[in-house]
Structure 1
Amino acid sequence: MADNVQNSSRRGGNKWLTMAWTTISVIILLTPLVAMQFTDEVNWTVGDFVFAGALLLGSGITYELAARVGNLAYQAGVVVALGTGVLTMWVTGAVGIIGSENNPGNLLYLGTVALAILGAILTLGAAAWMRWAMAVVALATAAVPFIAYYAGVADPRRDVLAPEVIAATGVLTIGWLLSARLFHEALRRASAKE
């Protein structure tokens, strides 16, 4: 019986974890009914709460699926990719990376998340291909400020070379690269077992 419990936890499907992220998502979705405004500076709309809840729920479901099929390195790669994607969407939606959240250059960062999702779909989540997909997303993320500049939506000094833009872009790029490295490790571990 202990082996069954251990095998079940290795494959994911931990009902307590599933209940935890589902409960948090529901609380976020229901929060507008209780209070719409945190402070004078943070005034969320119903759409903001729905977006946050859907983002957490989608990430939780994706992790639960990944936890059933991969080894620990694979699961870590998924967690890092999901975390980087959520962070990208949250920051660009809340304050923006290039200028304010209304700057069209920020849509390019959201495009990197779409690229990661497309990569996961096209590769069917296979670690051998996910490592390359995440590496491509990392390169795309690093290029965003420059693409925004050449598209005419970013000022070179204020936006492209601003310390906060460089730092945010660097953190996101490192997140995607770490995910790629973890998928590479997952592939190596799977090959070693064969």
Structure 2
Amino acid sequence: MGSGRGNGLRPFVWGGAAGLLLLPVAAMRFFPEAGVDWSGADFAVMGALLAAACGLYELGAWLGATRAYRAGFGLAVLAGFLTVWANLAVGMLGDEGNPANLLFLGVLAVAALGSLLARFRPAGMAKAMFATAAAQLAAVGIALATGGFEARELALTACFALPWLLAGWLFRSAAR
């Protein structure tokens, strides 16, 4: 499965992560009116999230024999990272403390368990990503049924199914 090639995007991925982690430092230092006020714990959590995302990207780059596979894996990692980040920062539904946001742990579990069950093979990864998109939409459906959320929140949260669908399509292309 592994391509055995060098990873030409490595410096950009890790450099981009470092740059992303430095943005709040710059905002706090040079633009205090922006209201950015991160604590040491905020930096530690974001650093751990970025390290996990970059490490998963490295795994996908190592496993991927095709560009489609690597792109699908990278997109899935990005979708997972953004899901966690959004939920910790502001919450996808309501605020970050809203219990409805726990639904997205299930979405991430579908992606992770599906990938493991597929043993990271492209055809199985495609199915796992399509199932993850369905889980994302199911979470939105549950939130819609329970009520109390704005249509805008629900629509934006449903849009998170798109990268999972695109990742599935890329994995399906890699399986051919």
Match of 1:177 among 146, 165, 168: 165
Instruction: Tell me the equivalent position of 1:124.
Output: 119
Highest Rg: 1 or 2? Answer: 1
Give the CA deviation at 1:63. Answer: 1.6
Instruction: Tell me the equivalent position of 2:5.
Output: 11
For residues 145-179 of structure 1, give each alpha carbon's deviation from its aligned partner in whole angstroms, at most 9, with x where no partner exists. Answer: 332455xxx5x2x41xx232232222211111111
Gaps of 5+ in 1: 1-8, 189-194
Preserved CA contact (<8 Å) 2:91 2:97 = yes
Match of 1:164 among 143, 149, 152: 152
Matched residue SS, 1:165: helix
Runs of 4+ in 1 over 6 A off after TM superposition: none
Distance 1:114 1:41, change over 3 A: farther
Alignment pair present for 1:103 and 2:103: no
Preserved CA contact (<8 Å) 1:119 1:133 = yes
Distance 1:38 1:101, change over 3 A: farther
TM-score by length of 2: 0.80
Q: Which amino acid aligns with 2:75?
A: V
Distance 1:183 1:38, change over 3 A: farther
State the identity %: 37
For residues 4-60 of structure 1, give each alpha carbon's deviation from its aligned partner in whole angstroms, at most 9, with x where no partner exists. Answer: xxxxx983433xx4345445556738x77xx69965643222222122212222221
Q: Which amino acid aligns with 2:44?
A: V
For residues 99-157 of structure 1, give each alpha carbon's deviation from its aligned partner in whole angstroms, at most 9, with x where no partner exists. Answer: 1111010111232123212221221211110111111111110011332455xxx5x2x
Alignment pair present for 1:57 and 2:45: no
Distance 1:75 1:53, change over 3 A: same
Moved more, 175-184 or 51-60: 51-60
Match of 1:79 among 74, 82, 104: 74
Preserved CA contact (<8 Å) 2:140 2:158 = no
Preserved CA contact (<8 Å) 2:122 2:172 = yes
Preserved CA contact (<8 Å) 2:69 2:174 = yes
Distance 1:21 1:57, change over 3 A: farther
Q: RMSD of aligned C-alpha atoms?
A: 2.8
Matched residue SS, 2:99: coil
Distance 1:39 1:136, change over 3 A: farther
Matched residue SS, 1:105: helix
Preserved CA contact (<8 Å) 1:88 1:109 = yes
Distance 1:113 1:12, change over 3 A: farther
TM-score by length of 1: 0.74
Preserved CA contact (<8 Å) 2:144 2:154 = no
